Structure 1
């Protein structure tokens, strides 16, 4: 009936159905209705009461308008902490809250361009002829030396006023004076002109900071609040300078500001950020007339003044005393040595009269651009179309369709004219105002067809070089990637797996931005192909980026009606979701992909999905279901003539057989796989097969044979840079030493494996090794250490649904408590272990059952 509010559902909204941020916000609105539709004010009051009780200071409490904003669709970034607080107020069930946390993890860490940010552990290059700002620099220096207080200096001012240059110069001075011994720098893109480059998510910036500070990826929590807390822990006891450039608002930078003594944050923003209660604000204005004159005199000391003795003052006035405009004019003066300063002043006056240019920057840009050689004008216009935060000379050559040397010379000249800025080594960027001006000129001077061709050359460049890098890193997987034509423009000389990996690591944020840009601006095929090409690189290591890339690919393939491309993108996305902890949504997408592959008659695609479904069942401990999936995958790979897939399926079947205690059958399967890997030259697969053969040899009581297999496996894994394979082999070496009673050596191997697994973010392997460390510590009588290892292993295994590792942890805890005389606790853990072992159907179930009868018969 009209005017009647919708009747709330009997069950609360299911956040697991959300696929986008807008979906999640709609679910939150429905949850609010389900909870009786309390007002925003009521929700705010309840949240603040809970936060106050938890010890939060008044400065961190939320406001009604901020809460209401969480229900607004069209947002590009969510405050996870506040979002979950709203959910908890509306439905305070821990299990239900966990569903929302998982949905935020999957959706929030998915396709958002806000998650793309480049974090540096060094400052950008200092300005050689930095002038003025004596008051600001003196104040910053005095504040920075007060290490007993937490100081934040917010540098606010209009675009082009020199905020970043001031912060960078101040940072270099502080580092040279040894006030700080470490620096973190990030451009937060608060006011980027390209809509595909929205303000960076503070959670992504924190992840970057933590990785730079040495925290392994797997140890970095997903929630913003937890990441911020870990960041503060990492800074404690250090003297770290944190430079947060181009901040959008206080919410963006608040989690990134150091809250420990001895550290300082320099924040640049076009806003005052008055909401930062602990900040010392420093408003940066244009140069004073004397500073502007001093800047010009220092920058061009040999310039001839000419007939007008006041020429320098006139130039400074016409530039509005704006540092960016003055820098551009300096570039023009240096490039026209036959002109006097009086000539420049008169020309500025003429342009101002003729074009009525009131902005100093616009006037300076016009003059700087007008007198460039045509090739440099064109290069500036076209690199401004680049969707990433920065670029290298090869990308510039691609977009301009010029040779490398010509491009390098042109970029150097544009840098000398301050139209392009040097960033990290061999990287270049544009000031936002220069980019906006150049994009405008491109729109006026380059026909849409030419601009589109330039962007397509750039996309072709990234696709071709990515394909070359992946062929070097994973040659045996080449037949699974789409055929990509070689680059037609200059490309970096990738000639080794190390060089390929270095290029991919450097360009990773750019590649994700390129995928987003291609999807949004009419190149869906590039999006789909980049998803497939980059799968092995992103898989398991860069999970958030993988989710982003494959989500865009799913949308693009569906939009252009490419069912096979959509099936591949779905498979890749499901794999990323599985690694983020979402087994159920992964299974749903795998199922959809399997149907599409069947409809297309793609046997290899079907087999791949079946193998991945088998992996989920194996991780869950459902070994019978895993075996069925692996056998079907093997049959289809054989029919498709995919030798690599066949070997992988044989290896997977062998692992299940080994888990079930059927070691002889496992050896036969492993040897078949090893023979195929060697025939096709897949050294990664060969190392994996040798490793599992070594593990089975340990269980069969053949230590000499095991040592031979494992040494070969370790050498191969390190040669090809397979870190997971290296960790797995180190783990098996630990098992071997433990079987031989060499507990110290076993612990050393396990610890090396654990460090690698944590670094690459492999929770299942981490749980396995932690259980093994617990076994070794317990065997050595170190019950407290064993208890810690088993407890950590159980927490991880429970979180990812790995029942076999849960069973191992519970059995280990039972033995520890029994060894400490805590029989009631021991019995409880043994019973839990038995339940898990029975569910997965492994031989350990009978062992635990017999042990319970023998050890706990009458008294328990």
Structure 2
């Protein structure tokens, strides 16, 4: 299929069954389509074929750029250590070639890969450097992504008002760039901060727009995130029926390629809503399914939600399978749900309080002060 205009043009022409290989030459990158479908492993497989041939390209930036792309695909899959290795290699090549833009992109990737591993001080230092470099390079995309990560770090630390300032800046960059997907992401992040603050009306307004944009571009993971958080906003507004419907719609957007952490988030919120409406059996089922996703429990990026006394991965699998019954010591959100304790200590909308993807800064200072005396704001 040559000169494809869009994924929408190609999708009806693809074979329905497995076993067929299709070559699509399109005007935009194929990886964009794969990312919107949540097919990160296929995206990475496609990208992994390219670096060995990068030296033959006329564009000298290709070697570092491709490594940055593979690293980004690893971040999407939660493979943060592998991502960091790719970004480090891209930074090395960018320095050898004296390319400040590729160096900045690699540094931004290193920041995105480090903070989920608990290396928040280093991550903030990287991201602050990139925000400053983006201003010199007049690169709105770099400024957008790095500022968004800084906002996410603040949000996970509990500095929600400051996080909202970052996301307001990110939204301005995204609207200037004009890509619907880039606009939807800061809306979701900002809504999450509003949810944590109990500002459900503000969150709902942002998420309605984010959901419409995610549907417009056909981004399934982003649609699932926005729908689930919209459900949390409706839950907080006192409409659990609407919340359940939205959480179920979010589940319907998931597929076999969906990240485990995202599925855990959606099922945990649905479990919270079931528990709030007295549907204890349904709540326990959702929390058991979340616990059974052992890969996320073992995942290094999920460890920050553990608390003192939290069970091991093996204990979580045993609890999920029913091998461990009665009251057990684990304090995590999912085990509390299996015990029938509802949403435990988290707010209706806050997966970040104890959910997957929560990150803890190693410093006792605010993230903008970690390792620096200056603000991370651009």
**2:299 is matched with which residue: 772, 792, 800?**
800
Look up the match of 1:616: 113
**1:695 is matched with which residue: 171, 186, 192?**
192
How far the C-alpha of 1:759 sits from its partner, in A, is 5.3
1:38-117 maps to which residues of 2 (within 5 A)? Answer: none
Q: CA RMSD in A?
A: 3.7
Match of 2:29, SS state, is helix
- Cα distance change on mapping 1:574 and 1:713 into 2, 3 Å: closer
TM-score computed with the length of structure 1 as normaliser: 0.34
Work out whether 1:790 is the aligned partner of 2:300: no
Look up the match of 2:161: 664
Cα distance between partner residues in 2 of 1:614 and 1:754:
30
Cα distance between partner residues in 2 of 1:682 and 1:654:
20
Look up the match of 2:336: 815
**1:683 is matched with which residue: 180, 185, 193?**
180
Match of 2:38, SS state, is coil
Work out whether 1:566 is the aligned partner of 2:63: yes
Cα distance between partner residues in 1 of 2:74 and 2:269:
27
Look up the match of 1:499: 9
Cα distance between partner residues in 2 of 1:574 and 1:583:
8
TM-score computed with the length of structure 2 as normaliser: 0.71
Which of structures 1 and 2 has the larger relative contact order (alpha carbons within 8 angstroms, sep 6+)? Answer: 2
Look up the match of 2:22: 510
Alpha-carbon contact 1:531-1:549 (below 8 Å) kept: no
How far the C-alpha of 1:771 sits from its partner, in A, is 2.4
Task: Name the larger-Rg structure.
Answer: 1
- Cα distance change on mapping 1:505 and 1:632 into 2, 3 Å: farther
1:419-818 maps to which residues of 2 (within 5 A)? Answer: 462=2, 465=3, 468-469=5-6, 498-499=8-9, 509-511=21-23, 533-539=29-35, 541-558=38-55, 564-579=61-76, 582-758=79-255, 760-794=257-291, 795-803=294-302, 806-807=305-306, 810-816=331-337
1:163-178 maps to which residues of 2 (within 5 A)? Answer: none
Alpha-carbon contact 1:659-1:842 (below 8 Å) kept: no
Alpha-carbon contact 1:786-1:816 (below 8 Å) kept: yes
Aligned residue pairs: how many? 323
Cα distance between partner residues in 1 of 2:160 and 2:269:
20
- Cα distance change on mapping 1:741 and 1:675 into 2, 3 Å: same
Alpha-carbon contact 1:771-1:805 (below 8 Å) kept: no
Alpha-carbon contact 2:119-2:361 (below 8 Å) kept: yes
How far the C-alpha of 1:563 sits from its partner, in A, is 5.2
- Cα distance change on mapping 1:814 and 1:654 into 2, 3 Å: same
How far the C-alpha of 1:658 sits from its partner, in A, is 1.4
Alpha-carbon contact 1:661-1:842 (below 8 Å) kept: no
Match of 1:510, SS state, is coil
Cα distance between partner residues in 1 of 2:73 and 2:27:
12
Alpha-carbon contact 2:121-2:363 (below 8 Å) kept: no
| Residues 589-619 of structure 1, C-alpha deviations (whole Å, 9 max, x = no match) | 2211111122223333233333333333344
How far the C-alpha of 1:819 sits from its partner, in A, is 4.9
- Cα distance change on mapping 1:837 and 1:755 into 2, 3 Å: closer
